[in-house]
Structure 1
Amino acid sequence: MADTHDFPDIQERLLALEEAFADRNGYRFKKALSELRRSIKMRANAVALAQAEILDSRKEIERNRKQCVDLQAKLKTVVDRFEGSFTAFEKFRKAIRVVELMRGHEDLPAVLDRIKDLFGLRAVSLLLDAGEYAPFEPPGARLAEAGALRAKLAELMPKGAGPGPFMGSIRAVPDPEFFFGQGFCAERKVLLLGSCFIYPLRDKFSPQKLVGILSFFDSNPDRYTSEKGSEFATHFADILGYTIVDVTDRKKAERLREDVERMTRHDLKSPLTAVLTLPQLLRRDGNLTERQNDMLSLMQHAGYRMLNMINQSLDLYRMERGVYELSPQMVDILPILDNISGELRGVIEASDLALDVVVRGRPRQDGDAFAVRGEEMLLYTMLSNLIKNALEASPPGQRVAVTLAEGRTLDVAVHNAGAVPASVRQRFFTKFATAGKKDGTGLGAYGAKLIAETHGAKIAMATSEQKGTTVTVSFPKPRTPANAQTNTNTNTKAKMPPAAGRG
């Protein structure tokens, strides 16, 4: 500090004063004394200034410390909010995933219970429009008339409140039992403290249409307040409402499809009766050649097959939904192949093709049998689709082979020399996958896959330009004794229509 203010050292002034006093030099004494006083004053001023600077520094340090404490508190608040938002986001993300997995109204109870657990809620309630959802009887949800839903929402939220959710104390709800169910108000202590979130669900295609109301209740009075944001909750509620609408629309479409198929089957059976009756009438007149009798047999067989296909159309639909109940028996594949060969004789002859059957590594012989466990007509449909596809995809003059092999599984493989187009190889067994066929529907391989999986079998396709295409169905081996299989095979053969020919 002395260097800063540049004043003389006090010790030097004192020494000069002593010398002046010893020489009794009054002028010198006075001058030394004056300089000493000036030095002391300068030192005192410097000390005072230093103390003032120190005090200011201490005040500045204290202010900085307080600012640091405030910043730490604010930062902690921000971090806590971020972590809380992130945790809430994760919970809502999981809840949205649960809703997205909903496939039918029957999943609603599990979805609501999962939401309740994820969000740690005391109660979750779903009200739906009775006029729209009563025919489906959705479990886990309560029903109310659309007018009652609108009236209760209007009573809860004034017109100026907008279409958003209600968030506040449960005491502010005029009729809690309407939103949360009968008996909810029995827990008085909880109701006096809790808070709730009540949100109207809208139809995503018609936002003005009210679907229902989703309500959350929590014992914490600060969980849902008008000051807090509700973006996550409202977004989740919208997704739940949209999913319910989608599930319901799909249910309506399924019912409509069933009605149309039922009417179609009924309408098709009437003209089919004439197709089945006509061969019998022609045979009564006699005077038919062997070739004509064969043609009538083919026509009658095709009619019976069409009748079976009509009856099985609903079964295939049930397989799609995974609700088909299989009634399996031991079925010999070889008589089925005989009937398919006779039915497809026209396709075989038109393209100069041949249909070979190989049983356990050698050409088929009389007395051979190859039995799997399943339903005869379903197996007939599956193999007919696969063989017909193979014949249509085979180059003219080639041979289509059906190979029956027994190992760890019972394998039925259909091979042709043609290759599956690259555009459909990855989706060969999917619905409506077709290429290169003018009238192809893309349902043959798809139906075969449904039937195979319904029988607990695995189906696979391998194709290349060099080796052609092979579709293999691998059935699990039955556990019945060999002699029981033989007896069952004999009885099963009698169920098929008479073979029209052998390929």
Structure 2
Amino acid sequence: MGSETEEARKIVKKQLLTELQTELANSRQLIASLTTQLNIMKTKDSVQNHRFKELAFNSSAHELIIYQQQNTIHEERKHEAMLMQEVESLSKTISTLSAEMKLIEDKYHIVNHDIRGAIVMWLNTADLLLAEPGLSQQGVQILREAKASGVSILGFVDMFLSLSKIECGDFEVALEVVNAVDVVMSVISQNKKIINDKQLSLPPPSGAHGHVAKTCYIYCCLSMTNIILNNLLVNAIEASPVGAEIKVAFEKNDHRKISIHNFGEVPETIRNVFFDKFVTSGKRNGTGIGTYSAMLMAKAQNGDILADFSEPGATTITIIFQKPPEI
């Protein structure tokens, strides 16, 4: 009886194990099926997400393109408005410059035809009076001084006229061969009175090896060269202390150089702008035009001017001219 019961138990256990194995297999199949379905769902979801992102990106890109186009149009309109403002500003500037040019032309006409004509007439009258017999020595001296003043004023007028033309780019430089020594001696003679008033010593101009210069031919515009040398010599005279010496020297090489050396320092504050317009220092009636016009006229005839302030208590100005083409 006991053995039969044990056998029955084994059969039941075996049936239960079989059923459990069957259920386990079914569960595994179900899990596999669910896993497959889950993977399919994930794949579909991934595809949908990708499509959604692609659509979103395309939409954003389209919106970005539209924004950029709108921004470009806005910038172009803004740039166009700025250009219109610049055109309007330039138009006003041109109108102003045209009016100023007309005013300059009117001034030039007045100075050239009225003032200069009157000065030339006075100089001619002075020459006629000096040629008259019976003039007293005092009368001759007065006429000569008056004529010298007239020549000086004529020089200033000519400087103004030349300067105006050069600044407007309307000056045709006529170059010729000139003996610079003669020009320097003429300028010294014109300024003899102020040289004597300050008791300045001005020895004859020197050339090579310190010898007295007789000739130094340069290729220049004579009227401009007169103005350049007069302005710079007058500067040297005014800057020199009483009783000092002014030296003029000539040098011949690839160019022609005329140096004016005087005692008296140029203030450090204006050395870097010495040749700029309206720069002056320590002169009651100084205009700051002399060195500016000299530089402008030197460059107009392919020359130059150099300033040397290296010597304590002194100044040396060197004017550079072209040498004559045949030399």
CA contact 2:254–2:323 (8 Å) conserved in 1? yes
Question: Greater helix share, 1 or 2?
Answer: 2
Residue 477 of structure 1 is matched in structure 2 by: 323
Residue 257 of structure 1 is matched in structure 2 by: 104
Provide the secondary structure at the position in 2 that maps to 1:389.
helix
CA distance in 2, matches of 1:312, 1:354: 27
CA distance in 2, matches of 1:379, 1:458: 12
How far 1:442 sits from its partner (Å)?
Answer: 0.8
The structure 2 residue matched to 1:318, chosen from 147, 156, 165, is 165
Residue 50 of structure 2 is matched in structure 1 by: 61
Is 1:336 equivalent to 2:183 in the alignment? yes
CA distance in 1, matches of 2:148, 2:194: 16
Is 1:376 equivalent to 2:222 in the alignment? yes
1:331–1:30: structure 2 CA closer, same or farther, 3 Å change rule?
closer
How far 1:386 sits from its partner (Å)?
Answer: 0.7
Name the amino acid aligned to 1:57: S
How far 1:374 sits from its partner (Å)?
Answer: 2.4
The structure 2 residue matched to 1:236, chosen from 77, 83, 86, is 83
How far 1:63 sits from its partner (Å)?
Answer: 3.1
Using CA pairs below 8 Å that are at least 6 residues apart, which structure has the higher relative contact order? 2
CA contact 2:274–2:291 (8 Å) conserved in 1? yes
Residue 193 of structure 2 is matched in structure 1 by: 346
How far 1:312 sits from its partner (Å)?
Answer: 5.3
Is 1:427 equivalent to 2:278 in the alignment? no
How far 1:256 sits from its partner (Å)?
Answer: 0.5
**Residues 47-58 of structure 1: pairs in structure 2 closer than 5 A:** 47-58=36-47
Name the amino acid aligned to 2:144: S
CA contact 1:361–1:405 (8 Å) conserved in 2? no
| Higher-Rg member (1/2) | 2
TM-score of the pair, normalised by structure 2? 0.80
CA distance in 1, matches of 2:296, 2:145: 27
The structure 1 residue matched to 2:248, chosen from 390, 402, 411, is 402
Is 1:360 equivalent to 2:208 in the alignment? yes
How far 1:32 sits from its partner (Å)?
Answer: 4.7
Name the amino acid aligned to 1:385: N
CA distance in 1, matches of 2:224, 2:211: 25
**Residues 53-92 of structure 1: pairs in structure 2 closer than 5 A:** 53-67=42-56, 77=65
CA contact 1:403–1:413 (8 Å) conserved in 2? yes
1:421–1:312: structure 2 CA closer, same or farther, 3 Å change rule?
closer
CA contact 1:423–1:435 (8 Å) conserved in 2? no
Provide the secondary structure at the position in 2 that maps to 1:439.
coil
1:477–1:227: structure 2 CA closer, same or farther, 3 Å change rule?
closer
Kindly, what percent of the aligned residue pairs are identical?
21
CA distance in 2, matches of 1:430, 1:254: 22
Number of equivalences: 316
Residue 306 of structure 2 is matched in structure 1 by: 460
How far 1:260 sits from its partner (Å)?
Answer: 2.0
Residue 437 of structure 1 is matched in structure 2 by: 283
Name the amino acid aligned to 2:163: L
CA contact 2:123–2:151 (8 Å) conserved in 1? no
CA contact 1:420–1:469 (8 Å) conserved in 2? yes
1:418–1:73: structure 2 CA closer, same or farther, 3 Å change rule?
farther
Provide the secondary structure at the position in 2 that maps to 1:354.
coil
Residue 301 of structure 1 is matched in structure 2 by: 148
How far 1:414 sits from its partner (Å)?
Answer: 1.4
How far 1:81 sits from its partner (Å)?
Answer: 6.7
CA distance in 2, matches of 1:31, 1:59: 41
CA contact 2:155–2:227 (8 Å) conserved in 1? no
How far 1:456 sits from its partner (Å)?
Answer: 1.7
CA contact 1:298–1:342 (8 Å) conserved in 2? no
1:438–1:26: structure 2 CA closer, same or farther, 3 Å change rule?
same
Query: Which digits, 9 at most, give the CA deviation of each residue in 1:381-408, with x for residues without a partner?
Result: 1100010011111233221111111111
Is 1:44 equivalent to 2:33 in the alignment? yes
CA distance in 2, matches of 1:361, 1:294: 39
Moved more, 386-395 or 298-307: 298-307
How far 1:379 sits from its partner (Å)?
Answer: 1.4
Provide the secondary structure at the position in 2 that maps to 1:464.
coil
CA distance in 1, matches of 2:177, 2:77: 61
CA distance in 2, matches of 1:79, 1:417: 74
**Residues 220-235 of structure 1: pairs in structure 2 closer than 5 A:** 229-235=76-82
Name the amino acid aligned to 1:41: L
CA contact 2:178–2:217 (8 Å) conserved in 1? yes
The structure 2 residue matched to 1:286, chosen from 134, 140, 148, is 134
Moved more, 430-439 or 403-412: 430-439
CA contact 2:279–2:288 (8 Å) conserved in 1? yes
CA distance in 1, matches of 2:93, 2:156: 31
CA contact 2:262–2:315 (8 Å) conserved in 1? yes
Query: For the aligned residues, what is the CA RMSD?
Result: 3.5
The structure 2 residue matched to 1:412, chosen from 258, 275, 291, is 258
Name the amino acid aligned to 1:254: M
CA distance in 1, matches of 2:164, 2:135: 45
CA contact 1:459–1:474 (8 Å) conserved in 2? yes
Query: Which digits, 9 at most, give the CA deviation of each residue in 1:345-384, with x for residues without a partner?
Result: 222223222223212332426xx12221223222111100
**Residues 129-140 of structure 1: pairs in structure 2 closer than 5 A:** none
CA distance in 2, matches of 1:260, 1:228: 47
CA contact 2:130–2:140 (8 Å) conserved in 1? no
